[in-house]
A and B are shown apart, each in its own frame.
Chain A
Amino acid sequence: MSSSTHHPAYVHHFENLSEQKEAATFGMWVFIAQEVLFFGGLFAAYAIYRNLHPEAFYFGSHHLNIPLGAANTAVLIFSSLTMALAVHAAALGKRQQIVGWLLATVFLGSVFLGVKVVEYKEKFDHHLVPGASFQAGQLGMAEHIADPVLRGKAERASQIYFSLYFSMTGLHALHMIIGVPLILWIAARAWLGQFGPEYHSPVEIIGLYWHFVDIIWIFLFPLLYLIPKPH
């Protein structure tokens, strides 16, 4: 106990460093549980609306760029790996490796965000952003839905699909945008040699956060991009 209460990172109100570390990790998990429900609200809205307007979602999804989405999924999974390796390196106290893997994670995260920007721009150019300038006409429903009344319904509802698309991916991107500076901060601390086998909670909990953001995308990708034709 005495050794761990003399570590520079130790905060007095914990009994010892290991209690402190457990609290930090557990705290992050509780936070993630909270995040699950935060995204959950949107996922529930998605599920209900997709159930009410299957056609709209199908045609809407066909205007997403599947290759880009798939590539981005790979990038993000890769970044999860580099993050896991950073935590691994921290547990072993390999300073340069921690920094290296963290920077790799930041790089991959930025690639992901960059691709996202390209995708968003496409939507803007095609007037697929909900609001006054939204044009459902080019979703190509005309050739497929014979009944004009149904088609009208689907075309209107396709705005809901894109609203959800932007809300969900936007919120996800926001989480990454918050994550990147956090990782940089952790990398800087690692560079200063603040982490080692004794203590590397910050690396670990930021890692948890990053993996969670990855998981959200694992669901977003098939749900938004790969919608099968309803029948």
Chain B
Amino acid sequence: MQTEVVKGNEEAVPGNGLDRENYINAKHGIWSWLLTTDHKRIAILYLVSITLMFFMGGAFAAGVRLELMTPKGDLVDSDAYNKLFTMHGIVMVFFFLIPSIPAVLGNFLLPIMIGAKDLAFPKINLLSWYFYIVGVAVFLVACLFGGVETGWTFYTPYSTAFSHTNVILAALGIFIAGFSSILTGLNFIVTIHKMRAPGLTWFRLPLFVWAHYATSLIQILGTPVVAVTILMVAVERLLKLGLFDPALGGDPILFQHLFWFYSHPAVYIMILPGMGVMSELITAFTRKRVFGYEFIAISSLAIAVVGFLVWGHHMFVSGQSTYAGMVFSALSFLVAIPSAVKVFNWSATLYKGSVSWESPMMYAIGFIGLFTIGGLTGLFLAAMGLDIHMHDTYFVVAHFHYIMVGGAIFAYLGGIHFWWPKITGRLYPEYWARVAAVLVFAGFNLTFFPQFVVGYLGMPRRYHAYPEEFQVLNVLSTAGASLLGIAYLIPMVYLTWSLFAGKKAPANPWGAKGLEWTIQSPPTTFNFDHQPVVTEEAYAYAEGHDTSHDAAPPAAPVRA
């Protein structure tokens, strides 16, 4: 992928499967897509629907930022503003980021990476997409009939007794989409346990797979709790049960416990797959085995498990017991350590590597920096004494956007670029990809860095209007958001364009290791012609003086 010049597609590219049978041209017609059980086609279904949701959530964000240009609430009225950020949060979290990497890249790659023909339960995989789509549809109906304005956190008793908007429908949409997430996790866990290729032991798995394993654990063990909680909210609204009604002796804080029991681990659903992508990108673009493989693998599990023990850090000022608060604070600090281990190991992988600065690697490098900042500001919030001041201010908003946009979305974009040739059989224009990466990075920092400052100044979040002295910083932020919005559109344009006019991709355009690069691009329906057998560790790149590694590619039979 050294050149941007795109010529005709005449000459045959080795390993390119566009002119042969592949999963895209194997069947035709809309039903062959809507009823497919091929994990790769389902990944494409997700890709399309998730991209739509991203731009929808982005449009809401644009509304939020435009409103916040001026201190007075003059663009939209306060109800409309509240709906904007609520629907922005819900769409981005539940309908975009949680399914993003697992359902698109995970679905497409996980079976291939472990040498399987498909996920363990292809029909359930399709079902999970339908759950997702029905969840989206229900939520869209809620939006059309006036939206919701409870904040994405649905705190009681506001959501159960006071909000006059479509809480029930929105909750139902999330509930249904939740099952999509659970089923995806279930499929992954079973697939990883039962369907690894011969020779593919746990410690030979690509780190992408480890990350998805940890993610699936959270999806399976966390999501049901939020599902039943959100169901309680809906039923309480419907039937006036009074489970969270203080007038009957119900406790609104109990809702927060149940909500965050899932929703904190959920932030690791959002970041762990991104970390998995990171490990793949870093190794591929340094042509080197990752530094500290076992530590990265185990730290994923550590994050997933310890991540379940920290949820109370969202409730330091709610009236939660001081002692519980201390425990949660301590454990929150603890969960930072496995994250730190990952960051340092990725950095160390670069040492004496063969680093190429192609666009996926640019996203990867951006990820390391921005995730570090996002994570470190998480420590500010985990510090109880500081969180008293920072809770529910823009500091929190900046913290999580640094991780979720600067981290997760960077990883997602990096991953999409990296595997685009494999998924579509086409190369994208590298020049534009680099331009977009730089613009996204710049726009992102301009948008969210000022929010740290304005947050410590005391600007509360979810504010439609604000005191004048905060305006300068907010204008900067809005300017950044405009840049960011435009920057996001660029990949949309050139990726779409590449589908039709991009150069044909060979089987392994990056010279990367991993079973997915041994098969044609795009792959055939059953991925492999013969069951691959794995004899080596992951990322066995040919490296310097250690000649034993130079010998052969992984023993998988290479097609084409």
Contact = CB atoms under 8 A, between A and B. Distances in A.
Interface of A: 12-15, 19, 22-23, 26-27, 30-31, 33-35, 37-42, 44-45, 48-49, 52-53, 56, 130-132, 153, 156-157, 159-160, 163-164, 166-167, 171
Contacts of B117: 12-13
Contact of B224 (A27, A40, A163): A40
Main secondary structure of the interface of B (DSSP, over half): helix
A159 B251 contact: no
22 contacts: A13-B116, A13-B118, A13-B122, A15-B531, A22-B194, A23-B120, A26-B190, A27-B120, A27-B190, A34-B223, A40-B228, A41-B258, A44-B257, A131-B241, A157-B248, A160-B242, A160-B243, A160-B249, A163-B236, A163-B241, A163-B243, A164-B243
A160 B250 contact: yes
A27 to B, nearest CB: 5
Given A45-B258, A132-B240, A160-B242, A40 B225 contact: yes
A132 B247 CA distance: 14
Contacts of A132: 240
A108 B241 CA distance: 31
Interface string B209-239: 0000000000011111111110010011001
B121 interface: yes
A166 B243 CA distance: 12
Contact of B228 (A22, A30, A41, A53): A41
B80 interface: no
Contacts of B194: 19, 22-23, 26
Interface of B: 116-118, 120-122, 182, 186-187, 189-191, 193-195, 220-229, 232, 235-236, 239-243, 247-251, 254, 257-258, 261, 526, 531
Contacts of A38: 224-225, 227-228
Contacts of A164: 243
A105 to B, nearest CB: 24
Contacts of A44: 257-258
Nearest to B187: A27
Q: Which of B120, B258, B526 has the most CB of A within 10 A?
A: B120
Contact of B242 (A33, A39, A130): A130
Main secondary structure of the interface of A (DSSP, over half): helix
A131 B236 CA distance: 10
B538 to A, nearest CB: 22
B116 A153 contact: no
A160 B116 contact: no
Contacts of B221: 33-34, 37
B195 A41 contact: no
Contacts of B236: 163
Given A13-B116, A13-B526, A130-B241, A156 B224 contact: no
B243 A41 contact: no
B245 to A, nearest CB: 8
A204 to B, nearest CB: 15
A169 to B, nearest CB: 14
A211 to B, nearest CB: 19
A167 to B, nearest CB: 7
Contacts of A56: 249
B512 to A, nearest CB: 25
Nearest to B250: A160
B411 to A, nearest CB: 26
A82 to B, nearest CB: 28
Given A53-B249, A167-B241, A37 B224 contact: yes
Nearest to B222: A37
A34 B250 CA distance: 26
Given A19-B195, A130-B239, 9 more contacts: A14-B120, A34-B223, A41-B229, A41-B261, A130-B240, A131-B241, A157-B249, A160-B241, A164-B243
**Which 3 pairs from chain A and chain B are nearest by CB?**
A38-B224, A157-B249, A41-B228
Contact of A131 (B240, B243, B250, B257): B240
Q: Which of A22, A27, A167 has the most CB of B within 10 A?
A: A27
Nearest to A130: B241
A15 to B, nearest CB: 7
A62 to B, nearest CB: 18
Contacts of B195: 14-15, 19, 23
Contact of A163 (B182, B242, B526, B531): B242
Contact of B225 (A14, A41, A163): A41
Nearest to B527: A13
A115 B487 CA distance: 62
A45 B225 CA distance: 11
B190 A23 contact: yes
B228 A31 contact: no
Contacts of B250: 49, 160
Contacts of A53: 249
B249 A153 contact: yes
A31 B189 CA distance: 11
Contacts of B248: 156-157, 159-160
A149 to B, nearest CB: 12
B224 A34 contact: yes
B532 to A, nearest CB: 12
Nearest to A53: B249
Nearest to B240: A131
Contacts of A35: 224
